[in-house]
Amino acid sequence: MEQAQAVRDYLQDLQSRIMAAVGAIDTHDYVKDAWSKAAGEPLQGDGVTCILEGGSVFERAGCGFSHVRGPRLPASATQHRPELALAPFQAMGVSLVFHPRNPYVPAVHMNVRMISAAHPGQEPVCWFGGGMDLTPCYGNADDARHFHAACRDAVQPFGEDAYPRFKAWCDSYFFLKHRNEQRGVGGIFFDDFAEGGVENGFALIRAVGDAFLGAYMPIVQRRKDTPYGVRERDFQLYRRGRYVEFNLVWDRGTHFGLQSGGRTESILLSMPPLVSWSYQFVPEPGSPELALLTDFLVPKDWV
């Protein structure tokens, strides 16, 4: 399908641009790992996983492109499309998670993707998904406002209701139900998007993908040299535990990849390199650690 090739070309270029920006800000080189899945495996397809570990700015920064095809659409992708259950499908996307070294630099996630499915003899049905969200360990209102303003501006051409709708969707989705806690300060999120047809969906994921570097890299530049000590580092590792919990327990993208027989290392590139859990951690009154919980990890209109 000609449109699928256009989406693929865009996604590969997006990955290259993002990793070039990572390479320009970090002194450590990243690894570019091209892979393919041959006939006879649960999925067929190919991809490129780019990952930087042990850098001066990013302790782990992973950005993966994948384009896979399979005989049966996983259940995690048919929640709103039961008529496509077990249909042959193809899926392609770019997904990234950056875990910074400095606790004052927030972690970030961004994903844009297209899925197409059809039972034999039927026309393919295409839909799109994606978004980006910010997860600080130490909250900063200026950073949250900047990030949300970039998200708002990216989706503005798709209607006045696009940002409020996608922001609320993000707040609802990136929520740890077992903790009754937001994962971060949010951003935008959309799934099963087919409004306006394929061209409109493709335009939306391009708008989000192209806005990512402007939304996140200025925050990195402002915070990467902030002094910190053992206390901040310990809290960072503790908060990363929440990230792991969400990705493994609730994230539909992780479930889709694992259920469909995807490449495990690429699916789990979002995991932080170091993390800790503490039994019944209680932040001190008046501390910035408590402020994260009370002032930032709550749904809020940042712009």
Q: Are 238 and 114 in contact (CB under 8 A)?
A: no
Query: Domains, the chain, ranges and CATH?
Result: 2-296 (3.40.1500.10)
In three-state secondary structure terms, 110 is strand
Strands lying side by side in the sheet with 44-53: 31-37, 44-53, 58-70, 89-100, 107-117, 125-135, 186-193
Q: Check 28, 67, 80, 109 and give the catalytic one.
A: 109
How far is residue 34's CA from residue 135's CA, in Å, rounded to a whole number?
Answer: 29
Q: Span 288-294, mean pLDDT?
A: 96
In three-state secondary structure terms, 77 is helix
CA atoms within 13 A on the CB side of 273: 14
Evaluate if residue 300 carries a pLDDT over 90: yes
How do residues 126-173 score in pLDDT, each as one tens digit? 899 999 999 999 999 999 999 999 999 999 999 999 999 999 999 999
Active site residue 28: no
How far is residue 131's CA from residue 77's CA, in Å, rounded to a whole number?
Answer: 17
Interior angle at CA 154, CA 149 and CA 157, nearest 5: 120
Structure tokens of 139? 């909250």
How do residues 11-55 score in pLDDT, each as one tens digit? 999 999 999 999 999 989 999 999 887 666 667 889 999 999 999
